[in-house]
Amino acid sequence: MAVETTKLPDGLRVVTDAMEGLETASLGVFVAAGSRDESAAEQGLSHLLEHMAFKGTARRDARAIAEAIESAGGDLNAATSVESTAYYARVLREDSGLALDVLADILIESLFDPLELKREKDVILQEIAALQDTPDDLVFDLFNAAAFPGQPIGRAILGTAESVRGFDRGSIRAYLNRHYVAQNIVIAAAGAVDHAKICDEAAEKFGKLPNGAPKKPAPAHYVGGEIKVSKRLEQTQVIVGFEGLAYADPQTYAAHIFANAVGGGMASILFQEVREKRGLAYSISSFHWSYLDAGLFGFEAATGGRDVRELVKVSLDALAEAAHSLSASDMARAKAQTKVGLLTALESSSARAEQIARQIMIFDRVLPRQEMIDRIDGLNLAQVRAAGASLLRTPPTVAILGAVARAPGALDISARLAGV
């Protein structure tokens, strides 16, 4: 593999990884702007913009956009997250120029036709309504809102029905002018790619991007708290979490390992204690999410309403025990799982393009594989335990959706973990 990076004169960054043995290329335009970059009136605008990018440009209508890539055997898609928006394509080696042409077209020349805008707003309103019928997704929105109350980072990516109805071409253009500037965008390509060719094509096709200093989002301030929503469901959805660590925090790797050890897979501590020994849930897992300046750690499960309190109690006891006496074998398993997750991206051109783009946006460089492996292998048991204990000492966040009468609150959790 051969990673190369170039910053073009306008500030646009290009990063590629030529992967031997592949005949296809994955290319993406990654914008360092997502839901946390929106104002209160713009909730959901990043996501709407992602939808509208495929609805017609000065050169192509919606069908022509799809046909341009699919007629060459490729595929085209996009995704919105809290801190970025991605537009990407996968094509044959010889069609990388076509992919970049289409990506530049939809990002720079979209028309945002009023009829298409109304139609797509209706689609997103249906998407928001569907979320209300998907409790295992909805509970995560509740959790984020409780962890970061009143902050952009805690808002739902889809926005609200009210905010989406209020969007017009003017609001879209204002958001684009603020965030879709050359200095805020990374073009990443992996697979059968030639770096010099990608740079030349990027300079030509993305030359119309406006310049401007990237706008930084409002700093995130973890607060914690609780949200309990009573709803008639067969199972009650439960998330209990704590303040996590940002990407660049020196203890982030240790926090990831602790999260994998306690809730990563069927051999994990939580799965064994909650499901295998007590049958309190069909599944349970933990997570550690990092952001630019914040993070979240926690576990999620679904159970019968009468078992919520017991599930939380057993889970908290297991976490507290792990923070003091995590075994060497559990740490070794977690390290292996983490390394597999990192290295899997090196075997898929699309995953690799996303990985190197994300690293450029976060660290302004691509992290060498060996550096990441060394960071994981260099952790000892005391460091991982200490990271876990530190996470559990932060104010808890609780999100419960379903039967909430017996559900514990944030004060109950703090009391349970008082000795950590």
CB proximity list for 169: less than 8 A, separation 6 or greater: 112, 114, 117
Is the Cα torsion angle 333, 334, 335, 340 positive or negative in sign? Answer: positive
Q: Using CA atoms, how far apart are residues 308 and 319, in angstroms rounded to an integer? A: 17
Query: Per-residue pLDDT tens for 290-320?
Result: 999 999 999 999 999 999 999 999 999 999 9
Neighbours of 342 (CB within 10 A): 17
Angle at 104 between CA 102 and CA 106, to 5 degrees: 70
pLDDT at res. 346: 84
Among residues 44, 122, 55, the alpha carbon closest in space to that of 85 is found at 44
Q: Look up residue 45 and give its two tokens.
A: 């605008």
What token pair was written down for 311? Answer: 């599930």
Give the integer Cα–Cα distance in Å for 245 and 250.
9
Nearest residue to 264 (alpha-carbon basis) of 186, 326, 353: 326
- Say which residues have a Cβ less than 8 Å from residue 228's Cβ, sequence separation at least 6: 398, 399, 400, 401, 404, 407, 409
Instruction: Give dist(CA 60, CA 208) in Å, integer.
Output: 17
Angle (CA) 178 180 182, round 5°: 115
137, two tokens: 């997704």
Given this model, what pLDDT does residue 288 score?
98
Matching fold, domains 2-205 and 225-416: yes
> Cα separation of 72 and 102, whole Å?
12
Give the pLDDT confidence score for residue 1 in this predicted structure: 58
Q: Which residues contact 67 (CB under 8 A, 6 or more apart)?
A: none
Radius of gyration of the chain (CA): 23
User: Which segments in the chain show pLDDT lower than 50?
Assistant: none
The count of C-alpha atoms lying within 13 angstroms of the C-alpha of 177, restricted to the half-sphere facing its C-beta, is: 6
Q: Are 134 and 302 in contact (CB under 8 A)?
A: no
Q: Which fold would CATH assign to domain 225-416?
A: Cytochrome Bc1 Complex; Chain A, domain 1 (3.30.830)
Q: Residue 50 catalytic?
A: yes
Query: Model pTM?
Result: 0.95
Give me the CATH topology for the region 2-205.
Answer: Cytochrome Bc1 Complex; Chain A, domain 1 (3.30.830)
What is the Cα–Cα distance from 363 to 137, expressed in whole angstroms?
A: 30
Using alpha carbons, select from 275, 289, 43, 21 the residue that is nearest to residue 159. 43
Residues with Cβ within 8 Å of 295's Cβ and at least 6 positions away in sequence, in order, are 243, 244, 245, 246, 249, 252, 255, 288, 289
Taking only the tens place, the pLDDT of each residue in 320-368 is 999 999 999 999 999 999 999 888 878 899 999 999 999 999 999 999 9
Tokens of 352: 């690799």
| From 38, 50, 116, 300, active-site residue | 50
Phi, psi dihedral angles at 222 (to 5 degrees) = -65, 135
Burial environment of residue 79 by CB neighbours within 10 A (0 to 12, 13 to 18, 19 or more): middle
Domain boundaries, the chain: 2-205, 225-416
Q: Which uninterrupted H or E stretch holds 98?
A: helix 96-108
